Structure formats: C-alpha cells, structure tokens
Structure 1
Amino acid sequence: MRLSIDLWPGYYPAVIADQKGWFKEEGLDLVLNMPGNTDKMLARFSAGTIDAIAVAFGDAILVSSQMSDLSVILVTDESAGGDAVLAMDSQVMNNLKGKRIGTNLGGFGELLIRKLLQHHNMSAQDVNLVNVDASKVPHLLSSGKLDLGHTWNPYVGLAKEQGAQVVFSSADTPGLIPDIIAISGEFRRTHPEAVKIFLKVWFKAQQWWLDHFIEGNLLIAESTGQRPENISLDGIRLMSREDNLASFHDSTTEHGLPQVLKSYNDFYIRSGVIRVPAPNDVLVSEFLE
C-alpha cells in the first residue's frame, strides 16, 4: 500500500505505526511518503502512482471530480482551529478591500477564506485571491508578498515565529474541515484485507500516541524532520472508530460527512466543477464496520 500524507498532526498515527513496525507485523507492506506539496500529491494519486492519500476532505472531493473511482475510508480528525488564516499585522482585518489573500484555490482552503470574507460582509471579488501551497505561506507573509494566508501546522507555527498572527481559523467554522484517508477504487477491490489491516493498525497507533504523547512526538519528529516541541494536537480532534461510524452515517448535522460533502459540492458547483460526487460514490464505511 503506497500512502502519501501531508504534514498534519491528524495523519501522524501512520508515521508512528510505520516507525514501530506495526504494519509489517500485521503483514502489510506500507510505503509511506510525505512529499510536502499537496498539489503534487493529489496529481500522483489521480495518475495512479500511489494507492492512498491523507488529505482534507475538500481536496479529496475535488480529486473525485477528475477521478471517479475513489473511496473515503477513514476520517482521521476534524480541524477545530488547526487550519488558520494569518497576517503579519492584525489591523489588516479592519479593511480587507483589495488585500492579497493566499490559499490553495479550488480546495477547502478557498472555502475557509470565503467563510472569513462572509464574516466581514465581503466576497471574493472584493479581494485578490492568490493560489499558493500551504508550505509557502510563512515566507510569503514575512516577505510582504501576501497580506493574509491560509495554512496549517507545522506551517502555522513557523509563521508565528516570524511574527504572524492568527486572524481566523477552522475553530470559527465547526465541522467544515474533516481530514480523511482516501484510496483508489482499484486498491479497495483488489486488496480489501490490506485496508482492514491498515485501519486496525491506525487506531492502535492513534491510541498509543494519546497514551504516550511525548514518546510519540519523538518518533514523529525523527521521521518528519520537525522539532518534538512543535508537534501538537491543539486545534485538532482525532477521530476514533466510533466517531468515524457516527460521522459516516450522520446525514442530518453539519458534522456528518454527507452534510459536509453537500457543502463542498455546492461550493464546487458554483466554482464551475462539472462533476460532483454523491455520498454513495465516495463514502465507504464497510471497512470500519
């Protein structure tokens, strides 16, 4: 199983399990990759050179518009402040007209920015939206090339070290940004046992990390090149197996995946994406059960 993940704490149970050798113990040969560039990772997944990705749900929905054979098998976490919009000077929020705001356009980051603009009774036409990768935001803010930028940890921490301040976050938009594991439909059909093993080991590693947080952070730091003290679950709610089952089957509240999918579908339709998925096309809970 070839898995690529963003640098995001919600995905680190895979890093811990890989470091511990738990996947191999269960008979799963997992190849873990952290490219540090979401767009490249999504492109590789669409091209079929990797089997699975750990990304924000909104990004997975966007990919499914180009790659119909995709299955979301797990909600890793919900961003509850971990995604942030930052500025070098918070006074910029007093007048957003014409400001340069950076995010990954067409994905969940743009939807977060649009929610920010709604809070200020403004639209995307009132500002200059700039397409940037999350990893570039700290430098673009500190160099004055952006007035505001959306990113996530560890890049939020880097931006703060350079003097940036959080002016809006996913804590202001409950339920908007769940993070997920998606696999190709081909892999799901040809390797169902591998998927079951992956989820079994995932939840084992997730609980172990919560029980051994400092030790877990050392393992994560060793694998990702971060400093252990910069690894945090602040603003992130890890999702257990029980949380997952509730989210997959909750079609009535804003925290349920079907309703979140509807929000993103509405956004993508307005943005001109022709094909948007139905819940039954992408949400696969059978391996959780």
Structure 2
Amino acid sequence: MLLIGCSKEEPVSSDSAPQDASYSMRLSIDLWPGYYPAIIAKEKGWFKDAGLNLKLDLPGNTDKMLALFSAGSIDAVAVAFGDAILVTRQMPDIAVILVTDESAGGDAVLSMNKEVLSDLKGKRIGTNLGGFGELLIRRMLDLQGVKVNEVNLVNVDASKVPDLLDSGGLDVGHTWSPYVGQAIEKGANIIFSSADTPGLIPDTVAVSGEFRRSKPEAVKIFLDVWFKAQNWWLTHYQEGNQLIAEATGQRVTSITLEGIRLLDREANVATFNDATSEQGLPNVLKTYNEFYARAGVIRTPAAPSILASEFLQ
C-alpha cells in the first residue's frame, strides 16, 4: 500500500525506489480528487512498469508544499493553477504540464448560516489569501455588490475551515473536497461555489524548470501513465474509490468526483491552445496575472512559456 500522511510536520513518502527505474520523480499533491489518478497509478505499479520511480507525498498543507517546491526539494506539485502561478515569484521557469481537472463546484464557500450570502458585510471570511481562493471570494463579493473593505478577510488553510466554521471562528469559509463534506457534516451550508465561476479554477501539475529541461522523457512517461489511470478510474469508479480510500486513510464515502470535471489528453491539448475563450488556459493565466498584480502579490507576471503543452503531443 502507498503510505500517504496528512501531517503538517513532515510529508510521508511512498514506498522505496525501485532500482530498475529509468527515471525518478518526486511529486507532492494536495488532498483533492482531481489528483487521485497519481495514487491509482502508484498503487497499480504502472509508473514503475513504465520506467518511472515516482515518490508521492501528501503533506496536507498547500503553503508548505509550495515552499518545498520553490526550494527545489521536490520535482513536481499538483495544485490549483493559481497556486502554481504564485511559484513563479521564486521559480519563473516552472512548467505547467497538465490540467488535471476543472473545479466545477468542488471548491465551495460555506457558512453555518445559509442566509448569510445576502448579508456579507462585516463578516469574517476565511480563505488562503493571495491565491485562487481569494479570487473566488472576490468574485462572490462582486456578484453580491459587496466591497472587499466591507468584510474581514482571514488567511486560513483549507483543511482548517470546517472546524473554524463549527467553532464560530469564521462566519464564511472557502475550502474544497473532501473538506467541504466535513464542513457539511458539521452543519455548514454551501452558499457559493466554483460552479458559479466556470473556468476560474483549473487544477494542474507543474514541474520545475530544471526537471523540464533535464528529464523530458520522464514527463512524457508521467503523462502517459496519468491518462491511463484517469481512464481506468472512470471505468472502474467504485473499485478506484476503494483503492484511493485505503491508500489515503479516507472513508470511501469521502471519495467523489462530484463538482469536478476531469480533463483527458484531448481536452488538455484544447485548453492549452485555446487563446480565444475565457476558459482557455492562456486567458486564465492572464486573469490571474492581472489579479495578482492588482493585489501586489506578483510584480512580474508569469510568462506564457510556463504553459508546457509540448509534452502532451
């Protein structure tokens, strides 16, 4: 079994490296269903069979994971596209090699008060500030005609939102699956979600610039195996859910693709090259660059060259 832990102290790595693998790659992922094909492929031994020793970590803390990636301690991360763009502050040459999925309801804004959407002024609203969660919150506020300075934005990790809502530490909070389900179990209600902002939150896998340049064949192997695992999951859904639950220590009922649109290879090629629609990756990159510039988060916009579609061919 792949051992994956959610400790904030140290990532828990997968089993030891096979000695006959041609390439090695260390990947850290958020706890998010769109990234679970990596778990399936690891459990099935498909990476090893293809000649790739994939070391898989699940740190359980996005900020720490991004810090490790920026420091060069890991080769790749699976995170929301908005978070991947943030890494360009330290690593401008990262490569986004894959859009795993689009959040189409999987990211949610919740409150214990289901009527709070009509009365947001003065409320404590939690999300990971400076990232895609803040952009989602700002879109919600815009649609409700509420200014940012009329609410209290609080910086919190997504995993903490269910407990903070339950304890009264937050009035409103943004998080994602499986934490959305945990919050609902505590009595919270979804008041807004990524389904209300189509295309705003694509989820991705990014590799370091050094890995992109030195191991292009490893990237191609990774993608081939990823799409194999993704397709297998969609055709063996219950079996796949059981495998993922055992590997991550979650309940099977917590594993769901509801609110998540997985992207296969063909859909990836389309979104990487779609410069005309708002949901095409080049224009989503522009949206985040503009948001981060206004917020003073990034001085130099992420370059279009971070979109590494060449590996998908």
Would you say same fold, with TM above 0.5? yes
Tell me which residue corresponds to 2:153: 129
Match of 2:76 among 52, 72, 87: 52
**Residue of 101, 106, 128 corresponding to 1:82:** 106
Letter in 1 for 2:41: A
- Aligned equivalents of 1:8 and 1:154: distance in 2? 7
Sequence identity of aligned pairs in percent?
A: 70
Query: Which residue of the partner structure matches residue 267 of structure 1?
Result: 291
What is the alpha-carbon distance in structure 1 between the residues aligned to residue 289 and residue 69 of structure 2? 21
Aligned length: 288
Match for residue 18 of structure 1?
Answer: 42
Identify which of 136, 150, 153 aligns with 2:174.
150
Matched with 1:100 is: 124
* Deviation by residue 1:125-161 (Cα, 9 ceiling, x = unmatched): 1100000000000000000000000000100000000
Out of 231, 235, 242, which is 1:218 matched to? 242
Contact 2:124–2:151, Cα closer than 8 Å, also in 1: yes
SS of residue matched to 1:166:
strand
Residue pair 2:100, 2:262 contacting (<8 A) in 1 also: yes
Whether 2:302 is the aligned partner of 1:277: answer yes
Structure 1 residue 188: deviation in Å?
1.1
Deviation at 1:276, TM superposition (A): 1.2
CA RMSD of aligned residues (A): 0.6
Corresponding residue to 1:237 among 261, 267, 272: 261
Q: How does 1:59-208 map to 2 (within 5 A)?
A: 59-208=83-232
Of structures 1 and 2, the one with the larger relative CO (CA 8 A, separation 6+) is 1
Deviation at 1:275, TM superposition (A): 1.3
How far apart are 1:93 and its partner, in Å? Answer: 1.8
Stretches of structure 1 lacking an aligned partner (at least 5 in a row): none
SS of 2:129 mapped into structure 1: coil
Instruction: Provide the rounded CA distance (Å) in 1 between the counterparts of 2:117 and 2:212.
Output: 46
- Runs of 4+ in structure 1 off by over 3 angstroms are none
Residue type at the aligned position of 2:97: I
8 Å contact from structure 2 (residues 118, 144) kept in 1: no
Per-residue deviation, 1:94: 2.3
Matches of 1:162 and 1:61, distance apart in 2: 33
- Give the SS at the match of 2:53: coil
Q: Describe the superposition over 1:239-282 as per-residue Cα deviations: whole angstroms up to 9, x where unpaired.
A: 000000000000010110001001101100001121111212x1
User: How far apart in 2 are the matches of 1:259 and 1:126?
Assistant: 29
Taking the aligned partners of 1:47 and 1:14, their CA distance within structure 2 comes to 23
Match of 1:38 in 2: 62
Q: Secondary structure at the match of 2:183?
A: helix
TM superposition score normalised by structure 2:
0.91
Return the offset for 1:92: 1.7
